[in-house]
Amino acid sequence: MLLTDIAVEHTLVSKQNGVRQTYLLHPFTNTQRDTLGKFEIVRNISEPGLKEVKRSAFVTFQHLAELYAKGVIEEFGFSVRMCPGQGTYPTANPAKKIVPTSIRPGSPFDLAVQKVDVSKPANRELRTALLRTNVKL
C-alpha cells in the first residue's frame, strides 16, 4: 500500500548517459511476512572506531504518525523507504528524509499525526522497533 498523503520529488541522473528522470515517491508498506503492512524507517549510525552503518526498523501507520507527532523522525535523522506512485524505480528503492511539510494538510495521515497524545509514552512495540536503530524513547 502506498501512503499517498506524503509525496517527495526525487531526480535520478543516469551514470551511463546523464539522462535525468524525476519520480514522485511515496512511503510504502512492506509485503514480507513479519513486516507485512509496515513502513521501513532508516537511520545512519556511526559508532566510535567503526564505519557508519544503516539500521532500519518497521513501524505501523499509527507508529509512523506518532514518530512525526513527537518529532522523533527529525530529531534522530530518520529516512523513510520510498517508491514511485507509478512505474518502477530502476534501482533499489531509496530512503528519503521527509519533513513534516511534505505531509498533505488535512489528509488522513496528517489527522492521525494531530490525534497523537504526545504526553503518553511510546508503547512497547514501538520502543522495541526503535532499539534496532539505537533510539530510546
Q: What is the pLDDT of residue 123?
A: 92
Position 3 scores a pLDDT of 92
* Regions of the chain short of the pLDDT cut 50: none
How far is it, in rounded angstroms, from Cα 55 to Cα 81? 12
**For position 111, what pLDDT does the model report?**
96
Task: Please write the tens of the pLDDT for every residue from 37-74.
Answer: 999 999 998 877 788 889 999 999 999 999 999 999 99
Per-residue pLDDT, 131:
92
Domain range annotation of the chain: 27-81+91-131
By 3-state DSSP, what share of the chain in percent is helix, strand and coil, each rounded to 5?
25, 30, 45
